[in-house]
């Protein structure tokens, strides 16, 4: 057996090497954790963990909410709720400076209340909004940046898959976290929209006001199309907030509600349902592979005692709490340039959560800050996942340079939102305190 320090060096080198050659992050974390446990506690104990952890994770009642929320989002997409949302937002905001980009942001935020997946959100609105904004002469960098950034809102606005992952790792209440994310999610969307408005007022050429006339009657009639999202949000989040059911039941009820909407809108087809369940299954499998790999990696950290040693050492330094928070943010932003948000959370939280709560930070507030940092990581170069999704899904020719250039103003807006959440913690804790 090796001592913890030597094992740590071997495992981390192994992890970064296999990541560099393109091994999937979930597989890389799992293999690294198994290697670490083999060197620390022996191969029999390591294989015993490999035999038990995958079953324990996939058999988890709490984690069952993830495939249910993903299925709800897939069914909402089949029901074309995104098209209805965008039409309504387009009718109400289209004549404002940057109105189509603001409509995209608003519709994407609303769809986040039924989707929970940033990738799905970004892909769907790329196909819907990108051709529309291009047709009216919008700068394609503004359009692509707006879609990529607003897609991240699904991480914060409940129901959120990242919220569930955070709750599992830190043993916090899923319901409380989801309620806590509502106001910060709305704030993020509002700051995006405000930033778009100011930017277009300063440079009107990047977003010409379209020569379209929408009557008052058309505006009000378009609101009828948003009843599906309103119904799902009220059913899921309203039910959780009122205490009618726990999040896992809410996921099942939400998925069934989305299925009812598909039927009510007469958009139920066998081919569509097969694709819906296929997409939901692939997305769920990808997430579970990362979670299982992360848990195996975290088990190795626990067995070596590194988590306790690091926490004790960091807390003994007695730095001001803000210094710990700054370090936490820097770690997230750096890792966000390299790997996806779920992997970041399963890698960092077992070590960082005890430190951050040890210096006095509220675990629910910390969860929202973690999610916001994860949102930022989705659009940071060189591996901003949403950037690649927008580029690959766009019907309009785009280069990665176009999307990354378009995303930079939204990164600055995200930093403004993050600063507000840190300066005024009540933005996060207000609703959960009422719920409790």
pLDDT tens track for 254-278: 899 999 999 988 888 888 889 888 8
CA distance 418 to 289: 30
Cβ contacts of residue 46 below 8 Å, gap of 6+? 34, 37, 38
Give the number of other CB atoms < 10 A from CB of residue 323: 11
Q: Name the nearest CA neighbour of 387 among 147, 82, 104.
A: 147
What local confidence, expressed as pLDDT, does residue 357 receive?
Answer: 92
Residues 215-254 pLDDT 10s? 888 888 888 878 888 888 888 888 888 888 888 888 899 8
Burial class (CB in 10 A: 0-12, 13-18, 19+), 243: exposed
What local confidence, expressed as pLDDT, does residue 186 receive?
Answer: 93
Mean pLDDT of the 143-159 span: 90
Cβ atoms of 254 and 66 within 8 Å: the answer is: no
Q: What percent of the chain has pLDDT over 90?
A: 28
CA distance 2 to 38: 10
What local confidence, expressed as pLDDT, does residue 307 receive?
Answer: 65
What local confidence, expressed as pLDDT, does residue 436 receive?
Answer: 62
Mean pLDDT over each residue of the chain, to the nearest integer: 87
The more confidently predicted of residues 58 and 146 is: 146
Burial class (CB in 10 A: 0-12, 13-18, 19+), 327: middle
Q: What is the CA radius of gyration of the chain?
A: 22
Mean pLDDT of the 296-302 span: 82
Domain limits, the chain: 4-435
CA distance 126 to 392: 9
Task: Look up tokens 């004549």; give the residue.
Answer: 95
pLDDT band with cut points at 50, 70 and 90 for residue 365: very high
pLDDT of residue 1 exceeding 80, the answer is: no
Residues 385-404 pLDDT 10s? 788 889 888 888 888 889 99
What local confidence, expressed as pLDDT, does residue 146 receive?
Answer: 94
CA 244 to chain centre: 26
Q: What percent of the chain has pLDDT over 70?
A: 98
Q: Where are the alpha helices (DSSP H) in 210-304?
A: 216-222, 227-233, 239-242, 247-264, 270-304
Q: In angstroms, how far is the first alpha carbon of the chain from the final one?
A: 48
The more confidently predicted of residues 58 and 203 is: 203
Cβ atoms of 162 and 176 within 8 Å: the answer is: no
CA distance 303 to 307: 9
CA distance 281 to 148: 24
pLDDT band with cut points at 50, 70 and 90 for residue 343: confident
Q: Name the nearest CA neighbour of 325 among 188, 426, 421, 410.
A: 421
Positions of E strands within 42-95: none
Q: Name the nearest CA neighbour of 362 among 196, 177, 183.
A: 177
Cβ atoms of 204 and 97 within 8 Å: the answer is: yes
Mean pLDDT of the 275-283 span: 86
DSSP single-letter state for residue 360: T
pLDDT band with cut points at 50, 70 and 90 for residue 312: confident
Query: What are the structure tokens assigned to 160, written together?
Result: 């959120």
Give the number of other CB atoms < 10 A from CB of residue 31: 18
| pTM (predicted TM-score) | 0.86
What local confidence, expressed as pLDDT, does residue 141 receive?
Answer: 94
242 φ/ψ angles, rounded to the nearest 5 degrees: -75, -10
Give the number of other CB atoms < 10 A from CB of residue 26: 24
How many CA atoms lie less than 13 Å away from 225 in the CB half-sphere?
21
Mean pLDDT of the 358-371 span: 94
Mean pLDDT of the 365-391 span: 87
CA 113 to chain centre: 12
Q: Name the nearest CA neighbour of 166 among 413, 314, 375, 358.
A: 375
Mean pLDDT of the 114-125 span: 81
Cβ contacts of residue 50 below 8 Å, gap of 6+? 30, 34, 296
pLDDT band with cut points at 50, 70 and 90 for residue 56: confident
Give the number of other CB atoms < 10 A from CB of residue 270: 7
Give the number of other CB atoms < 10 A from CB of residue 422: 17
Cβ atoms of 351 and 310 within 8 Å: the answer is: yes
């Amino acid at each position: 057996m090796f001592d913890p320090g030597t094992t740590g060096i071997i495992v981390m080198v192994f992890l970064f090497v296999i990541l560099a050659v393109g091994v999937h992050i979930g597989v890389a974390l799992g293999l690294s954790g198994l290697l670490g446990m083999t060197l620390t506690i022996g191969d029999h104990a390591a294989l015993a963990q490999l035999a038990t952890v995958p079953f324990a994770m996939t058999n988890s009642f709490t984690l069952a909410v993830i495939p249910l929320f993903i299925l709800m989002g897939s069914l909402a997409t089949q029901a074309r709720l995104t098209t209805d949302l965008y039409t309504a937002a387009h009718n109400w905001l289209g004549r404002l400076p940057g109105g189509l980009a603001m409509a995209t942001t608003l519709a994407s935020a609303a769809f986040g209340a039924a989707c929970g997946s940033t990738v799905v959100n970004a892909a769907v609105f790329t196909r819907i909004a990108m051709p529309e904004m291009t047709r009216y002469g919008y700068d394609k960098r503004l359009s692509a940046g707006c879609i990529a950034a607003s897609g991240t809102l699904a991480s914060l606005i409940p129901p959120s898959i990242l919220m569930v992952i955070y709750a599992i790792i830190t043993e916090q209440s899923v319901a409380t976290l989801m309620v806590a994310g509502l106001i910060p999610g709305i704030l993020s969307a509002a700051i995006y929209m405000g930033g778009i408005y100011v930017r277009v007022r300063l440079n009107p050429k990047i977003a010409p006001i379209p020569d379209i006339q929408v009557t008052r009657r058309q505006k009000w009639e378009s609101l009828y199309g948003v009843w599906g999202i309103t119904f799902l949000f009220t059913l899921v989040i309203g039910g959780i907030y009122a205490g009618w059911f726990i999040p896992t039941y809410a996921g099942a009820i939400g998925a069934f509600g989305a299925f009812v909407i598909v039927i009510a809108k007469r958009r139920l087809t066998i081919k569509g349902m097969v694709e819906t369940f296929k997409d939901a299954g692939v997305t769920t499998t990808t997430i579970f592979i990362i979670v299982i790999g992360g848990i195996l990696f975290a088990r190795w950290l626990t067995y070596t005692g590194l988590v306790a040693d690091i926490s004790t050492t960091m807390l003994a330094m007695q730095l001001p709490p803000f210094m710990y928070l700054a370090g936490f943010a820097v770690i997230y932003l750096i890792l966000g340039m390299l790997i996806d948000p779920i992997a970041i959370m399963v890698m960092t939280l077992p070590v960082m959560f005890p430190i951050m709560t040890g210096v006095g930070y509220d675990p629910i507030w910390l969860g929202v800050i973690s999610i916001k940092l994860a949102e930022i990581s989705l659009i940071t170069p060189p591996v901003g996942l949403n950037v690649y999704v927008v580029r690959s899904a766009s019907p309009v020719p785009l280069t990665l340079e176009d999307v990354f250039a378009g995303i930079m103003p939204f990164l600055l807006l995200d930093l403004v939102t993050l600063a507000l959440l840190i300066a005024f913690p009540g933005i996060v804790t207000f609703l959960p305190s009422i719920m409790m």
